[in-house]
Amino acid sequence: MSSFAHRHLLGIEHLTRDDILTLLDEAEGWAAFNRRARKQDQRLAGLTQFNIFFENSTRTLFSFEVAGKRLGAIVANFHAAGSSVQKGETLIDTALTLDAMRPDVMVIRHSETGAAAEVAAAVGCAVVNAGDGTGEHPTQALLDALTMRRRKGRIEGLKVAICGDIRHSRVAGSNMRLLPKLGAELRIVAPPALLPDDSRGLPAFTDLDEGIDGVDVVMMLRIQRERMEASVSGPLDDFHARYGLTRDRLRRAAPDAIVMHPGPMNRGVEIASDVADDRDRSAILEQVEMGVAVRMAVLDVLTRDRRD
């Protein structure tokens, strides 16, 4: 059924177009499943999923927890804050210790780029990267792609602009890898200070109006307050004036363009409230919904060979 041959999901970098399509197709099935009255599958019954979060991210953790439980897995959350990690234990010692409890899959969030890959090299179970430093956040890019495909019917040929703090964003990092593999026409938009060193050959804009001109998808990123101040020379309001997505500005995009945001939103900063709340244009809540579906697909696919 599945052509997905990877043991871990560490980043979009390692996936082929077929791998990605397999995950999106599987996730589509889980999206339908999650709209049923009873949402309980048992294919992961007796398998153990550890969510190991070294950074706070309640919403991503929650999404993985719900995904695992709906598949019947035993799910346990390891909150690294206040744990042995704070007693000076190394990442690998923590990972090996938890691996000795014989989980089948570990979901890892860490502030250092490469942390999930480092863990994957050391442990015996499947590892899912739930965000590593400024590296990748592959399930976010997958849920973004699934949302686009559902809203626009395709990804091939779609004009997509990712706007905001591209430089520090692992969401952008994974999307910049995924979307070109599926044939989207991607461009990035940011203040000069927040453009990445390597724009991976993508068209880069520093003017938001130009950057979103004619696009089908405007993907706004969350901006950190401290980076906002550094990214424009002037008072805070300047950021919204120059890089905030308003209804007016959205008219530059295609007439049926959709708006995306990985959340949580700073209303009035990177996105105006009326844009966020426009049910026709905003796909933000569908992104969250697809997040659970994508994570169910990933957990299912990565544990298949352990269940036989």
Q: Which residues are catalytic?
A: 59-60, 87, 109, 137
Selection from 16, 17, 23 nearest residue 1 by Cα: 23
Closest CB 35 distance from its own copies, rounded Å? 7
Selection from 228, 143, 149, 134 nearest residue 190 by Cα: 228
Chain positions 8 to 47 lying near its own copies, rule: CB under 8 A, are 34-40, 45-47
Binding site members: 59-60, 87, 109, 137, 140, 170, 222, 263-264
| Shorter beta-carbon distance to its own copies: residue 105 or 195 | 105
Chain positions 85 to 124 lying near its own copies, rule: CB under 8 A, are 87-90, 93-94, 96-102
Q: In which residue are the tokens 């089948």 written?
A: 104
Torsion of CA 82, 292, 253, 169, to 10 degrees: 30
Binding site members for L-aspartate: 87, 170, 222
The only residue of 20, 26, 27, 78 in contact with its own copies, by rule CB under 8 A: 78
- Does 63 interact with its own copies (rule: CB under 8 A)? yes
Q: In which residue are the tokens 């495909």 written?
A: 149
Binding residues for its own copies, rule CB under 8 A, total: 56
| Shorter beta-carbon distance to its own copies: residue 39 or 249 | 39
Closest CB 211 distance from its own copies, rounded Å? 25
- Does 66 interact with its own copies (rule: CB under 8 A)? yes
The only residue of 14, 28, 48, 238 in contact with its own copies, by rule CB under 8 A: 48
The only residue of 19, 65, 132, 216 in contact with its own copies, by rule CB under 8 A: 65
DSSP notation for the chain = ------S-B--GGG--HHHHHHHHHHHHHHHHHTTSS-----TTTT-EEEEEESS--HHHHHHHHHHHHHTT-EEEEEE-TTSGGGGT--HHHHHHHHHTT--SEEEEEESSTTHHHHHHHH-SSEEEEEEETTS--HHHHHHHHHHHHHHHS--TT-EEEEES--TT-HHHHHHHHHHHHTT-EEEEE--GGGS-S--TT--EES-HHHHTTT-SEEEEPP--HHHHHHHSSS-THHHHHHH-B-HHHHTTS-TT-EEE--S---BTTTB-HHHHT-TTTB-HHHHHHHHHHHHHHHHHHHTGGG--
Chain positions 122 to 181 lying near its own copies, rule: CB under 8 A, are none
Selection from 47, 146, 56 nearest residue 106 by Cα: 47
Closest CB 288 distance from its own copies, rounded Å? 4
- Does 304 interact with its own copies (rule: CB under 8 A)? no
| Shorter beta-carbon distance to its own copies: residue 11 or 68 | 68
The only residue of 7, 17, 59, 247 in contact with its own copies, by rule CB under 8 A: 59
| Shorter beta-carbon distance to its own copies: residue 113 or 266 | 266
The only residue of 289, 294, 297, 298 in contact with its own copies, by rule CB under 8 A: 289
- Does 279 interact with its own copies (rule: CB under 8 A)? no
Binding site members for carbamoyl phosphate: 59-60, 109, 137, 140, 263-264
| Shorter beta-carbon distance to its own copies: residue 90 or 233 | 90
- Binding residues for its own copies, rule: CB under 8 A, are 34-40, 45-48, 56, 58-59, 62-63, 65-66, 69-70, 74, 76, 78-84, 87-90, 93-94, 96-102, 263-267, 285-286, 288-289, 291-292, 306-308
